[in-house]
């Protein structure tokens, strides 16, 4: 006699209206967290923008300097089209499975169906953990560098070391990571979207100002180096452009949208890629136009000439503050990704949904020990449960 897959069961209308697509008894805490589906298509646009767009766009002029005008802009355009198509296709597939009563909430869920339960868990899980930890570490390091830049801008002879600024910056997302749910990040991610537009506008304005000033560098757009170096440089430039489009974590973000989901994710993608097109191309073109093949890996480095700023100090300060705050939002979002937090089924089966929902922030290294580290019967902000998350 055939048996039904316990992960994919049919639901009553009230359950579907509340965003529940699977039996709570078959879900881990991460999935139950994601099932708090209350967002709109605008919220998904905020989440997508924060997950993709970041200060990494400062490297676009450098990528163009390795490729040249025509190849660089062509690859940037093709990458945008390919990424948008693949994200939208993934969203349509997820929506199709949801209509069949087989809602897939995370990449791990998709891998389980495609590769099987064992490969889905042990192949995709470690990759997600590595990517999330790598992103968090990179954001904290970059945030520390931005803090040090601001410090040296007003105190050039200062003796504070980089590790001190990294420590200072790292404490901020540590506390913001206690925000109660992924959906609750919508306001922070809206601020992130606005900050992206703000510091991109600052970079564009700064590049145009320097490019038209008396101190403007010679505009040389030739690609320097031997044939081998140019080939390796082109590969490097293509990889830089490809990685700037990041990972849109489509399943997790789509799971935060209130049903019916159909068509909403496409609108969110349009919001996200509207920001991408307006920022990526403007920063790339203005930066490469102003500095040519002298473009640095971070365009902000071109704003300094032998430790002498080419722009007013207040302008550089404002740009770095915008960048710094946006880095905090990215770090908080990655720290709170649902696929990285789940309790063992043997534990969560003992509690109802509200109790399980109170525990969502334990890091991957803690998940095996979650039954000792967390008490789902206590409030999520109680000292008993906050301390392990810290």
CA atoms of 191 and 41, how far apart (whole Å): 16
Buried b (16+ CB within 10 A) or exposed e, 186-195: bebbbbbbeb
pLDDT value for 233: 92
CA atoms of 137 and 279, how far apart (whole Å): 24
Q: Is 215 exposed, middle or buried (0-12, 13-18, 19+ CB in 10 A)?
A: exposed
Give the SS3 label for residue 39.
strand
CA atoms of 233 and 223, how far apart (whole Å): 9
Query: pTM for the whole thing?
Result: 0.76
pLDDT value for 350: 41
CA atoms of 29 and 376, how far apart (whole Å): 10
pLDDT value for 375: 60
pLDDT value for 326: 87
CA atoms of 112 and 121, how far apart (whole Å): 7
Which domains occur in the chain, in start order? 27-337 (1.10.4160.10), 346-390 (no CATH)
pLDDT value for 186: 82
Tens of pLDDT along the chain (390 residues)?
444 443 443 444 444 443 444 444 455 545 554 446 777 888 888 888 888 888 889 999 999 999 999 999 999 999 999 999 999 998 888 888 878 877 777 777 787 887 887 777 777 778 777 777 777 788 888 888 888 888 888 888 888 988 899 988 888 877 776 666 666 778 888 888 999 999 999 999 999 999 998 878 888 898 988 888 999 999 999 999 988 887 778 888 888 888 777 788 899 999 999 999 999 999 999 999 999 999 998 898 888 877 678 889 899 999 999 998 888 887 766 555 544 444 344 333 343 333 333 333 333 444 444 445 556 566 656 676 666 665
CA atoms of 25 and 21, how far apart (whole Å): 12
pLDDT value for 13: 43
Full DSSP string of 302-346: GGEETTEESS-HHHHHHHHHHHHHHHHHHHHHHHT-GGG----HH
């Amino acid at each position: 006699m055939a048996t039904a897959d316990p992960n994919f069961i049919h639901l009553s209308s009230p359950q579907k209206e509340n965003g529940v697509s699977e039996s709570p008894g078959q879900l881990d805490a991460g999935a139950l967290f994601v099932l708090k589906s209350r967002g709109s298509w605008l919220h998904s646009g905020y989440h997508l923008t924060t997950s993709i767009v970041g200060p990494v766009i400062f490297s676009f002029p450098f990528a163009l300097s390795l490729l040249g005008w025509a190849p660089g802009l062509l690859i940037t355009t093709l990458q945008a089209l390919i990424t948008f198509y693949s994200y939208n296709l993934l969203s349509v597939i997820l929506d199709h499975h949801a209509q069949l009563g087989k809602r897939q909430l995370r990449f791990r869920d998709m891998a389980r169906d495609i590769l099987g339960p064992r490969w889905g868990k042990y192949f995709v899980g470690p990759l997600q953990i590595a990517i999330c930890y790598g992103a968090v570490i990179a954001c904290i390091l970059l945030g520390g560098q931005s803090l040090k830049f601001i410090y040296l801008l007003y105190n050039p002879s200062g003796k504070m070391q980089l590790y001190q600024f990294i420590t200072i910056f790292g404490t901020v997302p540590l506390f913001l990571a206690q925000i109660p749910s992924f959906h609750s990040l919508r306001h922070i991610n809206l601020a992130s979207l606005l900050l992206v537009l703000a510091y991109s506008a600052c970079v564009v304005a700064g590049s145009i100002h320097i490019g038209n000033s008396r101190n403007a560098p010679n505009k040389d757009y030739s690609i320097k180096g031997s044939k081998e170096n140019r080939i390796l440089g082109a590969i490097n430039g293509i990889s830089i452009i490809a990685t700037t489009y990041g990972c849109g974590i489509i399943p997790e973000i789509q799971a935060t949208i209130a049903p019916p989901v159909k068509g909403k994710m496409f609108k969110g993608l349009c919001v996200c890629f509207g920001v991408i097109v307006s920022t990526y191309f403007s920063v790339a073109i203005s930066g490469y136009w102003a500095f040519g093949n002298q473009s640095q890996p971070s365009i902000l480095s071109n704003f300094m000439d032998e430790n002498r700023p080419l722009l007013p100090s207040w302008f550089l300060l404002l740009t770095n503050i915008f960048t710094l705050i946006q880095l905090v939002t990215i770090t908080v979002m990655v720290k709170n990704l649902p696929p990285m937090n789940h309790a063992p089924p043997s534990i969560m089966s003992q509690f109802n949904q509200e109790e399980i929902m109170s525990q969502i922030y334990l890091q991957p290294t803690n998940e095996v020990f979650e039954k000792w580290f967390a008490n789902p019967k206590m409030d999520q902000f109680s000292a008993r449960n906050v301390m392990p998350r810290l």
